[in-house]
Chains A and B, each alone.
Chain A
Amino acid sequence: MIDVDQRLREELDLLAPATPGPDWDGVLRLAGRRRRRFAVAAAVVAAAACGILVATPLGAGIVHGLGGFSAWLTGQPGEPASPKEQRAFEQANARSWLGFPAGTQLRRLATVTEPATGTTVDLFGFRSRSRLCLRVGVTGKTRGTATSCGPLDELRKAGAPVRVVLVDSAFGTGTKKAWYGLTRYRNSALQVTAGIIADGVRRVLVVDGSGRHTIRATSNAFLYVASEPDVGQRVRRIWAETDTSRIRVPFAPAPFGVGGGSAPQRRAPAPPTVDRKVRGGTIGWLNRHEPRGQPLDVLPASARWSIERHAVFGRVITPDPDRPLRVAITLNHSRHGHRAKGLCMWLMIRDGGSGGGCAVRATVFAQGPIPIGQIAVRVSSDEFATVQGLASDDVARIVAFLADGQTMPVPLADNVYVVDIARVRLPARLVAYDAKHRVIGYTTTITAVLGGGPSPARGRARLLLHGVSPTGTTAALYVGKSTTGGRCMFLHIRQSKHVGGTMQWCSPARWRGSPLLLNALPGLVAGAVRPDVATVVFRFADGTRATVTPTEGFVLYVVPRAHLARGHELVGAVARTAAGKTIGTQPFARRR
């Protein structure tokens, strides 16, 4: 099908030249006005727009000398939820396959209402054994709930008077749209940031793209609601204010698009010295088909088919009795039958779904007793990442070493471990000990899945180069800004009506690596070159050459038909400076 709209956009893009940046002060000068200081007013307006109404009394604040989070540690923050709210929570909990323990009491912490749309955001909290949870309920024009929990241990060890639990959790769809490269995003109707705060904190200052917002501490919690936020708007900084001081609160911003979301880069904990080398471990009870944990029958029907399909034996393990999370382990044969050579692990999630994978049984512990666990950022706004995995029988205990120098024990049961690590405390490393407290293995560095590196910045990419190869492959090279001050390249390839795709690459502000970053496609070469590259010389197998001058640092070279034949094909590219000096080469694989 012909995408007429897209082609029109591309053509118009070429006719609309890029212009210098905005200058609001210049507008005001032209209008005959002096610039007014909006900073304070904007913050007031934004806060008013959010309609922050604190509807709950302060918590009891009984100090028990436990790090200042007394109300939370005693399980009594805020006030009891209304019977209706408690009933709704229990009904939702009962529907979930992995519910919280029966009798979990919901506590009402804060409420924000937005008069303009009639949307109300309620913040509830509860303690579920060794975990503290926040639950956000949105009612009115926009509806939804979000629940996030963190280990109680976090409060004791995090060392901050505020523990952010949810950040920019999105609800509903807003009306704003914005381009980032070749992707057009819509905003959410609301974004909610919430956390737990210590007794002495009076206010929480939240800074995001719309300004600075002062949130009153209430019931040992804070709730910030960004109503109709800008596309890509994210909370950037949070401070806790007491009567006498202001303290920066560490947290990991929520990711946006394909970038962001990572805390400031920190050094990963160094690998420990291994006291005893262990290779080729096993899980004895699994090999012996011992009935540990629960049978696979307890799994919800929606998950059973895929898990049981090739399973010879399997059990459902609860690695941490304090949290509603289970892991299914199965011994599998291949789809053709034969011996059970596969070992599969599935992490069950609250809605009954599952995620996991399989490995060749003999290789799982071939390199050590604790292969790297999978890291999964459950939702974009969750401050905690769940890490789970398998350990061989040699492992008696696992400890997480965090980027801030602290450690935390990792729950381990029946050779399955699972732990929630605050993203702000990554990168981390898990270390395995044997029964004699000797280090017997460790994982590779665990980092957040998302984040780091340059990604497309706001603004639509423009079409820079276009080419059609003799074989019919079309390539369109778009260019946009990157978040780190460099540029992003989007290479849209179409080989046929049904085969195509887009490659994306963003350069850092200072490109220090190889001067050529070219992609060889059927009949085409496209990519980026370092700013100091003045010409690119393409070399062919028959000894001939072609020189190309990059356009704004990008190349899209259509290989002539004569150079598609064997013996004449493209074999490499040479980067040269304006002075003719060769500063880099890139070989291309020859056809066999």
Chain B
Amino acid sequence: MWREGVSLAQLESLYRDRYDHFARVAAAIVGDAEAGRDAVQHAFATAVRKRRSFRGTGPLEAWLWRIVVNEARRLARERRPEPVEPPPDPAANGRVPDELGVRAWIASLPPRQRAALFLRYYADLDYRSIAEALEVEVGTVSATLSAAHTTLRKALKEVEP
């Protein structure tokens, strides 16, 4: 049976359980850790206020992701775009060079596609939940992720014969 509304306890539980995922994905969308955190805080505040409007037709987490992603994208639009940089390259110490060009490719994606990648490979959401979170068709999610796979597979084949 479908239920309507969600309790504060449920929201708090999901917030505490998945905070790190929400915050880091939001930070990746906005391009700044603090702004990502703000996005999550505001998103959950919105969820608290609108919790009675949750109709239960899909997973609660997907509903929350939609609010978080929308909030992050809203903040991203308000901010001057800043390039997302990998960790600084310390002298002589190991580093994580973007030898495959994957990060550059990810950075070049439109925000929605980038969010799809993060939701799949960082937050481990399934296609349906990603589609609900981004308010797109499942096919769009599938196509985006397929393109990511193809790009990375090509790059890996070049460096790992």
Spell out A's residues near B (CB within 8 Å).
2, 4-5, 7-9, 11-24, 26-28, 30-33, 36, 38, 41-42, 45, 176-178, 230, 459-460, 463-467, 475, 477, 526, 546-551, 555-558
In the complex, the answer to whether B9 meets A558 with C-beta atoms within 8 Å is no
Interface membership of B143, Cβ < 8 A: no
Nearest B residue to A547, CB-CB? B92
Spell out B's residues near A (CB within 8 Å).
8-9, 12, 15-17, 19-20, 23-28, 32-34, 36-37, 40-42, 44-46, 48-49, 84, 86-87, 90-98, 100, 102-103, 106-107, 117-118, 121-122, 124, 148-149, 152-153, 156-157, 160
Assuming the contacts A7-B102, A45-B9, asked whether A548 and B24 have C-beta atoms less than 8 A apart, the reply is no
In the complex, the answer to whether A526 meets B9 with C-beta atoms within 8 Å is no
Residues from chain A with a CB closer than 8 A to the CB of B45 are 27-28, 30-32
**Cα distance A12–B36 in the bound complex, in angstroms:** 15
Residues from chain A with a CB closer than 8 A to the CB of B20 are 19, 459-460
**Apart from A2-B157, A33-B48, what 14 extra A-B contacts exist at CB < 8 Å?**
A8-B121, A9-B121, A11-B100, A11-B102, A16-B118, A19-B34, A26-B41, A27-B45, A30-B44, A31-B48, A36-B8, A548-B93, A549-B90, A556-B93
Pull 18 A–B residue pairs with CB atoms less than 8 Å apart, ordered by A: A8-B149, A12-B106, A14-B96, A16-B25, A19-B26, A19-B27, A24-B15, A26-B41, A28-B45, A30-B44, A177-B124, A460-B20, A464-B87, A466-B94, A547-B92, A548-B90, A551-B93, A557-B94
Residues from chain B with a CB closer than 8 A to the CB of A477 are 94
In the complex, the answer to whether B19 meets A22 with C-beta atoms within 8 Å is yes
In the complex, what's the smallest C-beta–C-beta distance from A503 to chain B, in angstroms?
Answer: 15
**Cα distance A11–B91 in the bound complex, in angstroms:** 21
**Cα distance A546–B94 in the bound complex, in angstroms:** 13
In the complex, what's the smallest C-beta–C-beta distance from B159 to chain A, in angstroms?
Answer: 9
In the complex, what's the smallest C-beta–C-beta distance from B150 to chain A, in angstroms?
Answer: 9
Assuming the contacts A16-B122, A546-B92, A549-B91, asked whether A28 and B117 have C-beta atoms less than 8 A apart, the reply is no
In the complex, the answer to whether A4 meets B106 with C-beta atoms within 8 Å is no
**Cα distance A19–B31 in the bound complex, in angstroms:** 12
In the complex, the answer to whether A21 meets B19 with C-beta atoms within 8 Å is yes
In the complex, what's the smallest C-beta–C-beta distance from A171 to chain B, in angstroms?
Answer: 22
In the complex, the answer to whether B17 meets A23 with C-beta atoms within 8 Å is no
Residues from chain B with a CB closer than 8 A to the CB of A4 are 149, 152-153, 156
In the complex, the answer to whether B93 meets A555 with C-beta atoms within 8 Å is yes
In the complex, the answer to whether B24 meets A465 with C-beta atoms within 8 Å is no
In the complex, what's the smallest C-beta–C-beta distance from B133 to chain A, in angstroms?
Answer: 16
In the complex, the answer to whether B33 meets A18 with C-beta atoms within 8 Å is yes
**Cα distance A84–B28 in the bound complex, in angstroms:** 59
In the complex, what's the smallest C-beta–C-beta distance from A529 to chain B, in angstroms?
Answer: 11
**Cα distance A564–B90 in the bound complex, in angstroms:** 22
Residues from chain B with a CB closer than 8 A to the CB of A13 are 122
Residues from chain B with a CB closer than 8 A to the CB of A27 are 15, 41, 44-45, 48
**Cα distance A417–B121 in the bound complex, in angstroms:** 53
In the complex, what's the smallest C-beta–C-beta distance from B40 to chain A, in angstroms?
Answer: 8
**Cα distance A21–B23 in the bound complex, in angstroms:** 9
Residues from chain A with a CB closer than 8 A to the CB of B25 are 16
In the complex, the answer to whether A8 meets B117 with C-beta atoms within 8 Å is yes
Nearest A residue to B43, CB-CB? A27
In the complex, what's the smallest C-beta–C-beta distance from A544 to chain B, in angstroms?
Answer: 13
**Cα distance A197–B109 in the bound complex, in angstroms:** 62
Most chain B CB inside 10 Å of its own CB: which residue of A31, A32, A549, A556: A31
In the complex, the answer to whether A466 meets B96 with C-beta atoms within 8 Å is yes
Residues from chain B with a CB closer than 8 A to the CB of A17 are 24, 27-28, 32-33, 36
Residues from chain A with a CB closer than 8 A to the CB of B118 are 12, 16
In the complex, the answer to whether B9 meets A42 with C-beta atoms within 8 Å is yes
In the complex, the answer to whether B156 meets A19 with C-beta atoms within 8 Å is no
In the complex, the answer to whether B107 meets A19 with C-beta atoms within 8 Å is no
Residues from chain B with a CB closer than 8 A to the CB of A178 are 17
In the complex, the answer to whether B156 meets A2 with C-beta atoms within 8 Å is yes
Which of B16, B26, B122 sits near A24, CB closer than 8 Å? B16
Most chain B CB inside 10 Å of its own CB: which residue of A12, A14, A464: A12
In the complex, the answer to whether A19 meets B93 with C-beta atoms within 8 Å is no
Assuming the contacts A7-B102, A549-B92, asked whether A19 and B33 have C-beta atoms less than 8 A apart, the reply is yes
Assuming the contacts A12-B118, A27-B44, asked whether A22 and B15 have C-beta atoms less than 8 A apart, the reply is yes
In the complex, what's the smallest C-beta–C-beta distance from B3 to chain A, in angstroms?
Answer: 12
Residues from chain B with a CB closer than 8 A to the CB of A551 are 87, 90, 93-94
Residues from chain B with a CB closer than 8 A to the CB of A548 are 90-93
Nearest A residue to B149, CB-CB? A4
Which of B12, B95, B121, B148 sits near A465, CB closer than 8 Å? B95
The 6 residue pairs across chains A and B that have the minimum distance between CB atoms: A556-B94, A30-B45, A465-B94, A31-B48, A19-B23, A16-B24
In the complex, the answer to whether A15 meets B93 with C-beta atoms within 8 Å is no
Nearest A residue to B148, CB-CB? A8
**Cα distance A16–B24 in the bound complex, in angstroms:** 5
**Cα distance A466–B44 in the bound complex, in angstroms:** 36
Assuming the contacts A2-B157, A36-B8, A556-B94, asked whether A12 and B41 have C-beta atoms less than 8 A apart, the reply is no
**Cα distance A547–B9 in the bound complex, in angstroms:** 52
**Cα distance A546–B91 in the bound complex, in angstroms:** 10
